[in-house]
Amino acid sequence: AAERTALLATVDADERAVSRDLPDLFRFMLGTGCRVGEALAVRWCDVDLDIATVQINGNVVPVRGRGLVRHSGKTAAALRTVRLPEFLVTLLRMRYDPEIMPNQPIFANSKGTYRDPANVGKWIRQAREVAGYPWLTSHVLRKTAATILDEGGFGATQIADVLGHANPALTQNVYLHRG
């Protein structure tokens, strides 16, 4: 927990990371267990702050000749509703602007459209070097979300549902560790 707090504080202090929206994106990924492309695909219309849920129903991917495309996810299990922790409800309320179009991504680029996951991956690598955490990847954020749920008493099936895994055995074997 202390290491996660130190990481977020370091990323918050890095001006480039802040201008690229990484602190909020990191928090969103830690609070939801989303993949990068899934987090970048979440639109304001996918969030219900009154009941604290988000619909994970897309993924942003580059398609040759078409640019960035939002598609419906890797598998049927990837389409899911995730309960938002209170800190994310607060974060999203602070980010919300009533003039934003409902189909606009929460983590939009400066033009109000989808961010490129490859660029975000590069920015994460840069931020981890500045923070002194060379092991940090977006997958580590996802595994950390699974660990937090595991430590909170959730079962492998419940955690698989949050992460969008069709098979809880994958969640148990790859995301949850003994001891």
**pLDDT tens figures, 93-131:** 999 998 989 999 999 998 999 999 999 999 889 888 888
Give the pLDDT of residue 11.
54
12 by Cβ neighbours in 10 Å (0-12 / 13-18 / 19+) ranks as middle
Torsion of CA 76, 77, 82, 88, to 10 degrees: -90
69: β partners: 61
Considering the entire predicted model, what is its pTM? 0.83
d(CA 3, CA 176): 19
Is residue 162 within 8 A of residue 82, CB to CB? The reply is: yes
**pLDDT at res. 9:** 62
What DSSP character marks residue 15? H
Alpha-carbon 143 to chain mean position: 11
Find the radius of gyration of the CA atoms of the chain.
16
- pLDDT (tens digit per residue) in 63-97: 999 999 998 876 776 789 999 999 999 999 999 99
Q: Indicate the SS3 state at residue 159.
A: helix
**104: which DSSP letter?**
S
**Residue with more model confidence, 158 or 88:** 88
